[in-house]
């Protein structure tokens, strides 16, 4: 983890949860859990609500197929942490319908929507919906919601340098599958939560309006690709467009320029959410919703 606050800055309830689950499982708390339970009011609470529904709620796609789409998105972002994790989740959730190691095992509808999501993620300015023209619109929207989640998480995992440690792949994936991506409410409750009735709007509102070190204008610029001072400008651009290229040196440069861990955390979250929402909105527009 490239930000010390993501290792040591949690509330007492989260630290107690880490200690208990680590003792029970015999492995250290995964980086993704530390991320989601650090200041969950900034974005994690609405993100987790979306994730549980998108990944394990009612859908045209099986749980394994949704994990396969998550794995495919991770490969687009060159995020090894997420690619390996979701490949394992495909294996856990599958009942013979898909093999994560064999792209040819995907049914034609899944292959079509995977290609569409790859286009949406990589080039939201030029989305061609022809590949999913024969699919039911609700099924495409469900896939776009899966893609929205992991377009955010992959960028954060890359930016903050997530790694898998001994035993985490096996225990972490089984816990995620068992609990359906849900966390106990007391762990993610923080501040006032405004449910606007739309997952995308909830994410935008939370990351812009939550109390923080940076002001709303700075987070809005990171989210929308607006003007920011260097080196924050180039860093936010990398989060949006090339998160796999971010290194320890990039965060060290921000810290040397006077940005705190919390400021970096907020800008990274805003930039990741902004880029993911742009892809999501572009995909929705391409299919006429």
Q: Is 180 helix (H, G, I), strand (E, B) or coil?
A: coil
CATH label of the domain that carries residue 98: 1.20.1290.10
Kindly report the number of other CB atoms within 10 A of residue 95's CB atom.
8
Task: State the greatest distance between any 2 C-alpha atoms of the chain, in Å, as a whole number.
Answer: 52
Q: Is residue 10 within 8 Å of residue 40, measured between CB atoms?
A: no
- For residues 271 and 200, give the distance between their C-alpha atoms in angstroms, rounded to a whole number: 14
pTM higher than the cut 0.95 = yes
Cβ-based burial of 57 (10 A; exposed 0-12, middle 13-18, buried ≥19): middle
Same domain, yes or no: 134 and 72: yes
CA 157, 159, 161: angle at the middle one, nearest 5? Answer: 65
Does the residue 286 lie in any domain? no
Q: What's the pLDDT tens digit per position in 98-117?
A: 999 999 999 999 999 999 99
Same domain, yes or no: 181 and 214: no
Q: Is 222 helix (H, G, I), strand (E, B) or coil?
A: helix
Same domain, yes or no: 56 and 85: yes
Which of the four pLDDT bands, split at 50, 70 and 90, describes residue 280?
very high
What is the mean pLDDT of the segment spanning 34-39?
97
Indicate the length of the chain as a whole number.
Answer: 289
Q: Among 190, 218, 252, which residue terminates a domain? A: 190
Q: Is the pLDDT assigned to residue 272 strictly greater than 90?
A: yes
Same domain, yes or no: 219 and 103: no
Range of the domain at 96: 11-190
Q: What percent of the chain has pLDDT over 70?
A: 100
- Number of structural domains the chain divides into: 2
- The Cα-based distances of 109 to 68, 78, 280 in angstroms read 13, 24, 19
Does the residue 288 lie in any domain? no
């Amino acid at each position: 983890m490239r930000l010390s606050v993501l290792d040591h800055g949690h509330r007492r309830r989260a630290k107690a949860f880490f200690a208990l689950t680590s003792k029970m499982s015999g492995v250290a708390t995964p980086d993704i859990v530390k991320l989601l339970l650090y200041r969950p009011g900034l974005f994690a609470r609405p993100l987790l609500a979306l994730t549980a529904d998108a990944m394990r709620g009612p859908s045209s796609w099986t749980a394994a197929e949704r994990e396969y789409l998550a794995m495919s998105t991770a490969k687009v972002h060159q995020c090894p942490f997420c690619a390996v994790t979701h490949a394992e989740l495909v294996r856990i959730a599958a009942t013979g319908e898909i093999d994560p190691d064999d792209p040819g095992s995907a049914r034609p509808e899944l292959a079509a929507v995977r290609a569409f999501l790859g286009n949406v993620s990589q080039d939201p300015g030029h989305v061609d919906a022809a590949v999913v023209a024969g699919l039911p619109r609700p099924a495409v929207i469900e896939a776009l919601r899966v893609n929205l989640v992991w377009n955010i998480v992959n960028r954060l995992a890359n930016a903050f340098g997530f790694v898998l440690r001994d035993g985490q792949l096996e225990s972490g994936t089984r816990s995620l599958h068992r609990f359906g991506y849900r966390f106990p409410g007391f762990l993610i409750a923080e501040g006032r939560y405004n449910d606007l009735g739309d997952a995308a709007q909830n994410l935008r509102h939370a990351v812009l309006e939550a109390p923080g070190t940076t002001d709303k204008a700075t987070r809005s610029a990171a989210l929308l690709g607006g003007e920011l001072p260097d080196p924050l400008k180039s860093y936010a651009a990398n989060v949006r467009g090339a998160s796999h290229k971010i290194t320890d040196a990039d965060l060290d440069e921000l810290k040397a320029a006077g940005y705190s861990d919390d400021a970096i955390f907020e800008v990274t979250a805003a930039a990741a959410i902004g880029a993911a929402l742009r892809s999501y909105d572009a995909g929705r527009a391409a299919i006429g919703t």
